[in-house]
Chain A
Amino acid sequence: MSSVDTLIESLGGVGYIASRRIATALYMAVNLQKPILVEGSAGVGKTELALSTATLLGLPLIRMQCYEGLDESKALYEWKYGKQLLYTQILKDRMGEQLADAPDMEAAMDRLHGMGDLFFSEPFLEPRPLMQALRQDGGCVLLIDEVDKSDEAFEAFLLEVLSAYQVSVPELGVIAAKTPPIVFLTSNNVRDLGDALKRRCLHLHIPLPEAALEERIVATRVPGIEATLTRELVAFVQTLRTLDLRKPPSISETVDWARALILLHADSLSPDMVRDTLNVILKFEQDIVAIEPQVVELLHRK
């Protein structure tokens, strides 16, 4: 991580072909210790970037998938209620004995208070992704996936974690990270994120790649693919993106398609082959219906 260029190279080493802008953003995130908010349409490699960073740095990856209704107890910590209950049942007699020789009610209460704290201590704490990430002493990569799907309330809760790398648990006090994790937030733009959250993050928008970059990505992701096939297929996908589609194919679709073609032993694109496998790159019936009759023309256009 000494410079952006070495970063591009080493990301390439773990199978992620990064553009310069991506690498710079990552480099800044590590150097400034700021979370990085990654936006872009589905399948351009947002999540993959976090996974590759974790592999590259040899850090554990902790992933938190966001959804509507996600709350603190699922993201931060929860008490192991079952275990608490079980222990109180097992220790019931023991507790009875302890309390039996208490001279009066007040003394018994005091002893009970001491026991109560036992049940709200570390062994009964169920750490969830956020707390796990903060307690990794060697640092880690924390991936907060699809943060736009969570509620506004949860977004506000994230602010403390993201700016100070600490959380407060009423029963235990403040838990601060020894080594701040490298945080990735991804967003599909289901809704606009709040300014407060955006302000705390570096921003990276991953666009659909240019042909040359995409060819390199396909070549890396699908080992053993012929160069001519790569070129043809990427050119075809690039043409598709210029059309008015409901969901233009992104990188992951290109890669899937390349894999499918390899499986079918195709060494170049023929109209029939394209028609048969169109459902790999286009995910809406309307898109497929619109493109199918044009396949021959599109193949000739490039």
Chain B
Amino acid sequence: MQHTLEQFFRALRAADVRVSPAEAIDASRAVTVTGYGDRTLFKDALCATLAKSADEVERFDAVFDTFFARDVATLPPISGADSESGQGEPSEADMAQAASSPLAQAVLQGDATAIQQSMEEAAARAGVADIRLTTQRSRLTRRLLEEMGLEEIERIIANARRMPDGQGEGLADRLDAARRSLFEQAQTYVARQHDLYAAGSARELREERLIKKQLNADGGVDPVDYVLMQAMVKKMAKRLAAKYSRRRRTARKGHMDVRRTLRRSMGYGGIPFDIVWKVKKVDKPSIVAICDVSKSVAASAQFLLTFLYSLNEVVDRMEAFAFSGRMISVNDIMDDNGVDSAILKVLQEIGFQQTDYGRSLQDFADNHLDKLDRRTTVIFLGDGRSNFADPRLDIMRQIHDRARAVIWLNPEPESYWAQGDSVMHRYARFCHVAKQCGNIEQLERIIEDVLRSYVPH
């Protein structure tokens, strides 16, 4: 059983439930307490020791049900009343024929447990659990059947068919039916192993590809991948926020904390042995995010908005704005709607119009400039293409002066920044960081850098 448990841990790891050696030991100890008799008890005990978050519990349940789903092998109905041995017990003669093959015996006797067991053993020999790719399935099914001793059965069938007067026909038919059903079962078995061990790696492959995909490439993100991307962006935003949104303290030598030093000195009769230094609290970041949703960035607008939405969910103090011709605050839309409807609403309200950076910046300056102070980081998400309108660099300068940091993430590569109607190179002067951000990987790296150093330069 230890081996089975190990296999189960492997399946869990494949499903992204992290199982450390210590947890594996705990699980084994837990199992010795519960025993294997009670399925729910066994499952719950393993769950308590192995799955360490709500998500993991969900995945654990799924893996457990697949892994320990051993539907008992079904035997084909004994076909044909014309078989000499009749409906029930196999005749002596048939058993003698089958004597050389334990599998054939099991089939004839209707011993489902024996068949199941032999399939498990054969699977271990054939290495079915090492399956990695969908394409390996048919080959592994064949190997599995070979290991179970299908050849023997085929031989017996051939022999029986050769017997004079059709004596062996009944036996041959039955074994033939059994062979077909065995084949089906082996297929299901291998498919399940594939789900357990390989499905996760296929998803990883997709995620990996998506992470590097240029978001403003033709057609943007595939609708198929869109849900996956949303999940990834959300996960990333959450990770970043968890890491950086907490108030951090840095010890600063130089200023004595008189109150706490006096308190400490009580233990020493009023003599200040322990000097306590003042601790400087680093404030939580507050973020103003401004997102371009105009025609020119149409391909990446959805991605940028998804990021904006996720960030809004995880960062406490965040103001979100969107613009193309004019600028509006989208905080309320994001707070009140789910991610899909929020993005849709923003795009309906303001999206895909002619870009006018100058006008939008003017809107921002008129209504929201008070949101900026020396603790605020401003993040622009946009391509800096202003349709040859006045870019209003003066407002940009004002934003730069007021905010702690201005970060511009542009989906276009830097070589495009001064081409055509792009004024990105001029805006870039007033940004602490201006970088290309075309895919999820770049986005994560930049945001992480920004949050870590907090004030760049």
Bound complex: CA A28 to CA B34 (Å): 9
List the A residue with the shortest CB-CB distance to B18: A195
In the complex, the answer to whether A203 meets B53 with C-beta atoms within 8 Å is yes
Bound complex: CA A192 to CA B338 (Å): 23
B41 shortest CB reach to chain A, Å = 6
In the complex, the answer to whether B30 meets A199 with C-beta atoms within 8 Å is no
Number of interface residues of A (CB under 8 A): 33
In the complex, the answer to whether B269 meets A24 with C-beta atoms within 8 Å is no
**Total inter-chain residue pairs, C-beta < 8 Å:** 79
In the complex, the answer to whether B266 meets A82 with C-beta atoms within 8 Å is yes
Bound complex: CA A191 to CA B245 (Å): 10
The 8 Å CB contact of A32, one of B26, B52, B56, is B26
List the B residue with the shortest CB-CB distance to A41: B54
In the complex, the answer to whether B242 meets A191 with C-beta atoms within 8 Å is yes
Chain A 252-283: CB-based contact to B (< 8 A → 1; otherwise 0)? 00000000000000000000000000000000
Q: In the complex, what residues of B have CB within 8 A of residue A85's CB?
A: 266-267, 269-270
B45 interfacial by beta-carbon distance below 8 Å: yes
Chain A 1-45: CB-based contact to B (< 8 A → 1; otherwise 0)? 000100000000000000011001100110110101101000000
A128 interfacial by beta-carbon distance below 8 Å: no
Bound complex: CA A198 to CA B49 (Å): 10
A92 shortest CB reach to chain B, Å = 10
A23 shortest CB reach to chain B, Å = 8
B51 interfacial by beta-carbon distance below 8 Å: yes
Interface residues of A in 139-163 (CB under 8 A from B): none
Number of interface residues of B (CB under 8 A): 32
Query: Which one of B49, B52, B270 has the greatest number of beta carbons of chain A within 10 Å?
Result: B52
The 8 Å CB contact of A39, one of B34, B40, B44, B54, is B54
Q: In the complex, what residues of A have CB within 8 A of residue B54's CB?
A: 39, 205, 207
In the complex, the answer to whether A205 meets B266 with C-beta atoms within 8 Å is no
Given A21-B47, A192-B242, answer yes or no on A199-B23 (Cβ-Cβ < 8 Å). yes
Bound complex: CA A29 to CA B48 (Å): 9
A56 interfacial by beta-carbon distance below 8 Å: no
B69 interfacial by beta-carbon distance below 8 Å: no
7 additional A-B pairs beyond A31-B33, A191-B242, beta carbons within 8 Å, are A21-B47, A81-B263, A84-B266, A85-B267, A199-B23, A203-B52, A205-B57
Interface residues of B (CB under 8 A from A): 18, 20, 22-23, 26, 29-30, 33-34, 40-41, 44-45, 47-49, 51-54, 56-57, 242, 246-247, 263, 266-267, 269-270, 336, 338
9 A-B pairs with CB atoms under 8 Å apart are A29-B48, A39-B54, A79-B267, A81-B267, A85-B269, A88-B269, A199-B52, A202-B48, A244-B338
Interface residues of A (CB under 8 A from B): 4, 20-21, 24-25, 28-29, 31-32, 34, 36-37, 39, 68, 79, 81-82, 84-85, 88, 191-192, 195, 198-199, 201-205, 207, 244, 286
